[in-house]
Structure 1
Amino acid sequence: MTQPIPPITLPPTENPQLEGEWLQQHLRLWLDTEFIPEAVNQKIAQRAAQIFVRQRMEGENDLGSLVIAIITEMKAFDFSKSFYGEFAIANAVSDLLLDSLGIDSCCGQ
């Protein structure tokens, strides 16, 4: 029988603003290097970081719930000047967070 994937829980936040700044910087770098640098990448990274910080300040530590929140709230973002969408952004945030925790996100590990 297939085993469910256990949830990934982030450590409780001590400084959500600092986490948000880190996320914004790393997401912007990822956006600029993954495809091409675009002016809108800064706005995308800023909005995703705002969502993340608010969720963390409200006590959310579950990575899956954070990803869903980013997908849901980024649906209202205007991606018309970008090659990305809300799912790519949420997945990138997840990968960046997993990497920061030392968890390999490749190949279902």
Structure 2
Amino acid sequence: MVEPIPPITLPPAKHPEQEAVWLQAKLQQWLDEEFLPEPANHRIAERAAQIYMRQRMEDENDLGSLVIAIISEMQAYDFSDSFYGEFAIANAVSDLLMDSLGIDRCCGQ
């Protein structure tokens, strides 16, 4: 039988505003490097960081729940001037957070 993937829990947020600033900068860097640097990248990263910060201020520490919140709330965002969508953004946030925690995301490990 296949074992379920255990949840990833972030440490409690001591400074969610600082986390959001870090996330916004890292996400914008990723967006700029993945395709093209464009003004929409800043707005997308800013919005995702706002969602993240609010969730963390509400004591959300589960990475899966954070990803779902970003997907849900970014569905209302107008991505028409970008190459991205809500799933790409949420997955990028997840990858950045796992990298920051030193979690190897290769091959489901």
Normalised by the length of structure 2, the TM-score is 0.99
User: What is aligned with 1:105?
Assistant: 105
**Matched residue, 2:28:** 28
Instruction: Provide Cα deviations, 1:51-91, integer angstroms capped at 9, x if missing partner.
Output: 00000000000000000000000000000000000000000
SS in 1 for 2:52: helix
Matches within 5 A, 1:82-93: 82-93=82-93
Alpha-carbon offset, residue 38 of structure 1: 1.1
Q: How far, CA to CA, are the matches of 1:51 and 1:105 in structure 2? A: 23
Percent identical residues: 73
Across the aligned residues of Structure 1 and Structure 2, the Cα RMSD in angstroms comes to 0.4
Amino acid at match of 1:35: F
Please give the alpha-carbon distance, in whole angstroms, between the structure 1 residues aligned to 2:27 and 2:79.
Answer: 15
**Distance (whole Å) between structure 2 residues aligned to residue 94 and residue 47 of structure 1:** 15
Unaligned runs of 5+ in 1: none
Q: State how far apart, in whole Å, the 1-side matches of 2:42 and 2:56 are.
A: 21
Q: Paired residue for 1:81?
A: 81
Unaligned runs of 5+ in 2: none
Quote how far apart the aligned CAs of 1:105 are: 1.1
Q: What is the number of residues matched between the two proteins?
A: 109
3-state DSSP of counterpart to 2:104: coil
Return structure 1 stretches of 4+ with deviation > 4 angstroms: none
Amino acid paired to 2:103: I
